[in-house]
């Protein structure tokens, strides 16, 4: 992997990741941009203890631009974008409209119950390919591996920033999910707090350790592999399965067989196997509502769960992949029980979802 850093016109960092050591990355950003000013803050919900990010400045961010104005495509004569070069393999840059950013002003708490802090952190955009019309599932294994290397690089660097508690790599795909830029991309958030889902996992893992003396995630993976009813696919170093209590119509968790806290701790053998398995899963999602000859781009969220920077020793790196689509023409909307009470209700049995995902293998 060849890593090249540059600066955009407003001072934000841009990083190219290449496999070609002679790639020319000397283009300058010629746009007349003003420096980014973040006014975000994080507020703790007194009733639940969860942190909520308030980022009112994001209302003006780019929303569904036409393809010929895409800010994630390479720059062309007469159309300058976030990527100054005429081509790229994988590019990562600081978001121009970040939910969290360094240097946010420190707010004052209006009441003893109200815990409020500056929204210090970092939000990055990860462009998987220069091809506007592609998707992650269209990549070959070499390019998918390069994306994995970029995620790992960003996890290591962002984890070292002052105040960062957790690094979250993810991809949202599809307008149904809420994506506002069609170009294939994901994001990396360096968060100044531990996310609520991670905190709940840590609590469960601690309880399991106290009750059994064993690790929750190691036991969970062993149980799924022993039964195999919900296993979708497995390799030498990874297993993908539909969780026993899946929240979404089609939801798959991908775990390495060896428990590690984050992407930086994977071995070379684990890294080498992951791209093929991950691409297989994404392509199966696309065949769920189409055919092998005519796959449909299923909307999904792909979320890497990593342990917090400090603490969370019982947690395990894993990927959670899910779609909001439940049939070809129906979406899973969060109803009152789910949005209002976080009590999920799934219309598809996890065992049936796993069977269907096995059936759509090529």
Q: Give the whole-angstrom CA distance, residue 300 versus residue 184.
A: 12
Nearest to residue 242, comparing CAs of 349, 316, 359? Answer: 349
Helix (H, G, I), strand (E, B) or coil at 187: strand
Whether 255 is catalytic = no
Q: Concatenated DSSP letters for 281-316? A: HHHHHHHHTS-SSS-----EEEEEE---SSS-TT--
Nearest to residue 311, comparing CAs of 189, 208, 187, 159? Answer: 159
Which listed residue (77, 111, 183, 185) is catalytic? 185
Q: Give the whole-angstrom CA distance, residue 282 versus residue 302.
A: 9
**Angle at CA 15, nearest 5°, toward 52 and 117?**
20
Cβ atoms of residues 328 and 336 within 8 Å: no
Nearest to residue 120, comparing CAs of 197, 38, 198? Answer: 38
**Angle at CA 126, nearest 5°, toward 52 and 192?**
30
CB atoms within 10 A of CB 269: 11
Contact residues for 64 (Cβ-Cβ < 8 A; gap 6+):
175, 180, 181, 182
Q: Write out the two tokens for 169.
A: 């790599």
54 phi/psi in degrees, rounded to 5 = -110, 115
What is residue 114's DSSP assignment? -
Q: Which residues are annotated as catalytic? A: 185
């Amino acid at each position: 992997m060849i890593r090249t850093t540059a600066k955009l016109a407003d001072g934000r960092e841009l990083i190219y990741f290449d496999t070609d050591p002679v790639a020319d990355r000397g283009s300058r950003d010629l746009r007349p941009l003003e420096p980014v000013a973040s006014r975000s803050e994080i507020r703790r919900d007194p009733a639940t203890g969860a942190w909520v990010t308030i980022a009112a400045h994001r209302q003006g961010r780019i929303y569904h631009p036409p393809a010929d104005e895409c800010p994630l495509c390479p720059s062309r004569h007469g159309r300058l974008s976030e990527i100054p070069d005429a081509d790229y393999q994988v590019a990562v840059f600081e978001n121009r409209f970040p939910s969290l950013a360094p240097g946010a002003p420190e707010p004052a708490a209006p009441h003893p119950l109200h815990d409020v802090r500056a929204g210090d952190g970092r939000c990055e955009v990860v462009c998987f390919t220069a091809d506007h019309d592609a998707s992650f599932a269209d990549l070959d294994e070499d390019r998918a591996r390069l994306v994995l290397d970029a995620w790992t690089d960003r996890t290591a660097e962002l984890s070292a920033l002052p105040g960062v508690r957790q690094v979250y790599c993810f991809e949202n795909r599809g307008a149904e999910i809420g994506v506002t830029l069609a170009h294939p991309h994901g994001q990396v958030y360096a968060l100044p707090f531990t996310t609520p889902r991670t905190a709940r996992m840590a609590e469960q893992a601690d309880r399991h350790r106290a009750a059994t003396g064993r690790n929750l995630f190691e036991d969970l993976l062993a149980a799924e592999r022993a039964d195999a009813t919900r296993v979708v696919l497995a390799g030498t170093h990874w297993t993908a399965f539909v969780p026993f209590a899946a929240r979404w119509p089609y939801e798959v968790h991908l775990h390495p067989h060896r428990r590690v806290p984050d992407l930086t701790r994977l071995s070379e053998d684990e890294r080498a196997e992951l791209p093929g398995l991950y691409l297989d899963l994404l392509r199966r999602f696309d065949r769920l509502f189409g055919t092998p000859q005519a796959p449909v781009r299923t909307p999904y969220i792909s979320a890497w769960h990593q342990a917090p920077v400090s603490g969370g020793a019982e947690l395990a790196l894993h990927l959670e992949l899910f779609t909001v689509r439940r049939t070809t023409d129906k979406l899973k909307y969060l109803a009152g029980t789910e949005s209002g009470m976080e009590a999920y209700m799934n219309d598809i049995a996890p065992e049936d979802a796993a069977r269907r995902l096995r059936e759509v293998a090529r």
